[in-house]
Amino acid sequence: MTKPSHLVILGGGPAGLSVGYFAQKKGLPFTIYEASHRTGGNCVTFRHGDFRFDSGAHRFHDKYPEVTKEIKDLLGGDFQKCNINSQIYAGGKLFDFPLSPLNLLKKLGLPTFIKALVERLRSQLSRNETNGDFESFVLRAYGKTIAERFLLNYSEKLWGDSGQNLSSMIAGTRVRGLDLKTFFVEAFRGQAAKIERLDGTFYYPKLGIGMIAEKLAETCGSKNIQTGSIITKIFHDQNRIQEVQINGDQRIKIDHMVNSLPLGLFIRMMEPVVPEKILSLASSLRFRNLVLVGLFLDREMVTENASMYFPEGVFPFTRVYEPKRRSEFMAPPGKTSLIVEIPCHKEDKIWNTKDDEIIRFVLPSLSNIFSIKENEIIDSQVVRLGNAYPVLEKGFEKKVEEILLFLSRFSNMKLAGRNGKFEYSHSIHNMMKFGKEVIDAYVMN
């Protein structure tokens, strides 16, 4: 792609803002078009009085030093280093996350631990092929006891589908080290080895993850960002994107474009209409929504964890986190909050349930687990996030590959972000890395 005379960026979430940020640094002209009244997308920090909470249990791991440096330069002293581990709540007990062999022995007891370890060793030696689905992958990788207790139920709650229908790619690398070598290392080195392996170190902005998006937008400049701009059509000539239509009437000519809107939505807006097969594939891509429940408490602290995971079906939520554990500035002195995540689809009952009913739905479980007294509850809030992340169903890779092959013919367009590329990329870190790579490529050309 040649250096653009003007770059149009669709979507003002973290992916779009990252592209704009690096374009601004390189002196490239650009405009970001964002449908809502604000930028940041789902990378936002909400305010409820003097309380703050993020749109998820965000953390910033130092995966790419050059990107971490960019954020440090953006936020300065407001980008803090934290060291807080997470845990899984199962069977009324707390387990280390990622799973730790020594911790499993203590919590499961010797007979169950030996059973799980033997299952894992047998599955590792098995020559049975996996079917590309999550369930067969984790059963082979971790054995039945571990998979059923910690992974399969949780994934079904998180993604809204059976592990048999989900891609093995959702597994990531979070469950690791469940072997004899790790067990003996932890047994002989004790707590030091456990801390080293679990690695709860991450960076976090003083006033929430939304600070990053706000600083990116600030650097992009308000004159380069058009909010309230809903993309309604995308015109092309089969080889190039020619124009985009905004709010049903205004048309903007395109020199070069980066799209971070959901991939299926982008395909459906193309004019002329794309081939039926591509349209069908795009329409089959699904996204998961997220309901957040905030509980604001007259209490100093509730947990010792960055996050707590709930794999059991008896709990309607998948994850609970306490913002104040990440930064003391997320709640007033002497107060704290708990934020509950409930993944769902837009057609699910919970998505359309009234706020007060949702709060009554989760409150008994939270009160029991965290010993919350009624007089400690100051207030509550419910927030709904659409298109929170793509659902990686079994075989999704082939669908996306075919769609991306079709889109590769458009020489003046690139895709960005987890929604735009339909991938379960973690955090703004990955998005900023991509933004830098895109702009570096423009400059080099």
Is 86 within a domain?
no
pLDDT of residue 198 exceeding 50: no
Residue 400 and residue 276 share a domain: yes
5: tokens are 């005379």
Residues 114 and 189 reside in one and the same domain: yes
Q: Which helix (H) or strand (E) covers residue 244, if one does?
A: strand 241-246
Let me know if residue 350 belongs to a domain.
yes
Instruction: Give the residue from 224, 232, 288 showing the smallest Cα distance to 16.
Output: 224
Instruction: Give the integer Cα–Cα distance in Å for 86 and 61.
Output: 14
Q: For residues 120 and 139, give the distance between their C-alpha atoms in angstroms, rounded to a whole number.
A: 8
Query: Does residue 87 belong to any structural domain of this protein?
Result: no
Residue 157 has pLDDT above 50, yes or no: yes
Confidence check: pLDDT of 207 > 60: yes
Q: Is 26 helix (H, G, I), strand (E, B) or coil?
A: coil
Q: Is residue 57 part of a domain?
A: no
Regarding whether 440 and 299 lie in a shared domain, the answer is no
The 10s digit of each residue's pLDDT in 41-83 is: 988 999 999 999 999 888 888 778 888 888 999 998 999 998 8
Q: What is the CATH number of the domain that holds 223?
A: 3.50.50.60
71's enclosing H/E stretch is helix 65-75
For the segment 179-186, the average pLDDT, to the nearest whole number, is 49
- Closest to 337 in 3D by CA, of 309, 311, 366: 366
- Give the per-residue pLDDT at 427: 65
Is there a single domain that holds both residue 279 and residue 426?
yes
Lowest mean pLDDT among 63-77, 234-248, 316-330: 63-77
Please, are residues 352 and 312 in contact by the beta-carbon 8 Å criterion?
Answer: no
Rounded to whole angstroms, the Cα distance separating 374 from 372 reads 7
pLDDT score of 184? 44
Neighbour count for residue 88 (Cβ, 10 Å) = 24
Question: Is the N-terminal amide bond of 390 cis, ω within 30° of 0?
Answer: no
Q: What is the mean pLDDT of residues 242-264?
A: 96
Mean pLDDT computed over every residue of the chain: 89
Confidence category of residue 98, pLDDT binned at 50, 70, 90 = confident
Instruction: Establish if 367 belongs to a structural domain.
Output: yes
211 contacts 43 by C-beta, under 8 angstroms: no
Q: Does residue 419 register a pLDDT over 80?
A: yes
Question: For position 445, what pLDDT does the model report?
Answer: 61
**Average of per-residue pLDDT across 322-347:** 96
Residue 369 belongs to domain with CATH number: 3.90.660.20
* Residue 195 reports pLDDT greater than 50: no
Contacts of 11 (CB under 8 A, 6+ apart): 32, 33, 34, 35, 41, 259, 260, 261, 416, 417, 419, 420
- pLDDT-above-90 percentage for the chain: 68
Q: Both tokens of residue 373?
A: 């007294």
pLDDT, residue 128, reads 66
Rg, the chain, Cα only: 23
Residues 16 and 102 both lie in one domain: no
Predicted local confidence at residue 4, as pLDDT: 59
Range picked from 121-135, 198-212, 224-238 for highest mean pLDDT: 224-238
Nearest to 338 by CA among 290, 389, 388, 381: 381
- The pTM is what? 0.89
In a domain, 83, yes or no: no
The span from the CA of 245 to the CA of 247, in Å, is 7
Residue 202 forms part of a structural domain: no
Per-residue model confidence (pLDDT) at position 423: 84
Averaged pLDDT, 102-129: 84
Give the mean pLDDT of 377-389.
95
Is there a single domain that holds both residue 223 and residue 349?
no
Q: What percent of the chain has pLDDT over 70?
A: 90
Is residue 235 over pLDDT 50?
yes
pLDDT at 182: 53
Cα–Cα dist 58/210, whole Å: 10
Residue 264 has pLDDT above 50, yes or no: yes
- Are residues 351 and 384 in contact, defined by beta-carbon separation less than 8 angstroms? yes
Report the domain count for the chain. Answer: 3
